[in-house]
Amino acid sequence: MSEGEPRLDEELMEIHRALHAKPAHPRYSTTPVVDALLRLRKYVESGLYLGVYAFTHGDRSAARHVVGLEQAVSEVIYQIIIHTSLSIGHRVEAAIGAMPIYLYASAIDKVVDAVKDLVYLTLMRRHTPPKVGAWLTKVSDKAVAKVPGSAVFEKSVGWVTEEYAVDVLAIMRGDGSWVIAPEDDVVIDDSDVIYVFGHKENVDEMLQLLGIGELTEEEPPPGVRPILERLDSMIDLVYLLNYLALYHLRAQDPKLAEEILEMEYTLDIMRLSLMDSITKLEGVEPGCRTALLNLVTRLEDIADAVTSSIAAPAGEEYREVLREVVEEAEEQLWEFIAVKDFAIKDLADKLEDVGAEVLAIRKGREWIAVTPFNFGRITVSKGDKVLLLFQEALEDDVAEELKEWLVPPREWWEED
């Protein structure tokens, strides 16, 4: 190595090896395709939230363990490919009908690649300064927080979700191991650290009730705030796009697909606009501008990957599999029916208490995604469908809270 070339210490070499480690040779497992797809869904949601959090808060510990997500995802994708290939055999029509399963698995793989880029930059200390995380928390309505296991010792993940209306993204065990997207029955030890995500008010209330303190928030400089507000809207849109694309697996609705494609186009325009604004941003160091540009680019990569999952309709024999992926997950996606007229912002206020949110409205055959840009203008009429996202553990609370506004679809009762 010549004198002018950069030198890598052992820690950075270890990071590099972990990032480029080859997945283990695939072995056949009897895991059903539905279970494998459900696992993929949980991995990508937790990895997405954790990756963005690690990058914007400089949490290198979280970043180090998100790196391992790629291998976990690859192993699940192997099983999906093997099982689906066996079921298809040499049938051309079946192969075409199964395309959405392959596309979804491929999309998840691409999302994880984008998240991996973020955590790689975090590990290489190219993340945003931690103050950016505090600024984003100030302008956002959602938040991620670390909670010591001692505060919820011997409680289960499901109990934490139901008690505080938050999601548990991951658990860092006392021995240094990690559980990403833990199941509801996983019990928390006093030496653990858990990462939770949810509406900011719910996360902050949890921290205060447990005597941990409050979320770290800081008012951004006046010239920076508008950019961070738009960045926060972009993050919200990426999360929303992920859920709508997932729901499309069940709905198989061309009109919903059109709405998803329009959202992806909006995100691309936002990326270009934000990049121009960040480049001209004053009052922050050059490294911060570079980090923000990287974040915006990776978010657009994730949006592109998610949108690719809706490129082909599912064959009839695979629709039931895809329906189960949506309906059997711990995080529920259901179309409720409006029983009266109301404004979306009024419904959203009620939903925050139970950690639920409105994703989209269906008026007849037309879909309207609920975004930061139209949130205050959307009204719902009696008979419209309202797509809600909430935790299965809070199902009864959601139904009780909304009984004067919305009723569940017939399928809800059939599931019971």
**Other beta carbons less than 10 A from residue 378's beta carbon:** 18
- Residue 330: what pLDDT? 61
- Residue 310: what pLDDT? 84
| 177 and 304 both lie in a single domain | yes
The C-alpha atoms of residue 406 and residue 212 are separated, in whole angstroms, by: 36
| 170 and 306 both lie in a single domain | yes
Cβ(211)–Cβ(234) below 8 Å:
no
Label residue 21 by pLDDT band (50, 70, 90). Answer: low
CATH of the domain at 91: 1.20.58.220
The C-alpha atoms of residue 196 and residue 60 are separated, in whole angstroms, by: 17
Query: Last residue of a domain, which of 328, 344, 371?
Result: 328
Average pLDDT, the chain: 85
pLDDT tens per residue across span 243-252: 888 888 778 8
| 111 and 252 both lie in a single domain | yes
The burial of 56, by beta-carbon neighbours within 10 Å (0-12 exposed, 13-18 middle, 19 or more buried), is given as buried
Closest Cα partner for 215 from 139, 121, 292, 299?
139
Range 23-45 average pLDDT: 75
Of the spans 37-51, 83-97, 290-304, which averages the highest pLDDT? 290-304
- Residue 234: what pLDDT? 94
The reply to whether 166 falls in a domain is yes
Closest Cα partner for 177 from 186, 164, 165?
186
In this predicted structure, the answer to whether residue 153 has a pLDDT above a threshold of 80 is yes
The reply to whether 246 falls in a domain is yes
| 13 and 161 both lie in a single domain | yes
pLDDT tens per residue across span 216-236: 999 999 889 999 999 999 999
- Residue 339: what pLDDT? 92
Residue span of the structural domain in which 98 resides? 8-328
| 311 and 360 both lie in a single domain | no
The C-alpha atoms of residue 44 and residue 214 are separated, in whole angstroms, by: 27
Label residue 1 by pLDDT band (50, 70, 90). Answer: very low
The reply to whether 1 falls in a domain is no
The reply to whether 3 falls in a domain is no
- Residue 12: what pLDDT? 66
| 201 and 322 both lie in a single domain | yes
| 371 and 280 both lie in a single domain | no
| 383 and 285 both lie in a single domain | no
| 307 and 340 both lie in a single domain | no
| 298 and 355 both lie in a single domain | no
Query: Last residue of a domain, which of 328, 352, 384?
Result: 328
Q: Which residue has the higher pLDDT, 85 or 383?
A: 383
pLDDT tens per residue across span 162-176: 899 899 999 999 888
Determine the 3-state secondary structure of 258 from DSSP.
helix
How far, CA to CA in Å, does 394 sit from each of 90, 401, 415? Answer: 44, 10, 16
Query: Last residue of a domain, which of 283, 308, 328?
Result: 328
- Residue 127: what pLDDT? 93
Q: Which residue has the higher pLDDT, 23 or 101?
A: 101
One DSSP character per residue, 292-307 reads HHHHHHHHHHHHHHHH
**Other beta carbons less than 10 A from residue 216's beta carbon:** 14
Q: What percent of the chain shows pLDDT beyond 70?
A: 88
Number of domains in the chain: 2
Q: What percent of the chain shows pLDDT beyond 90?
A: 40
| 126 and 151 both lie in a single domain | yes
| 305 and 340 both lie in a single domain | no
The reply to whether 160 falls in a domain is yes
Range 134-155 average pLDDT: 93
CATH of the domain at 366: 3.30.70.1450
Q: pTM of whole model > 0.75?
A: yes
- Residue 2: what pLDDT? 45
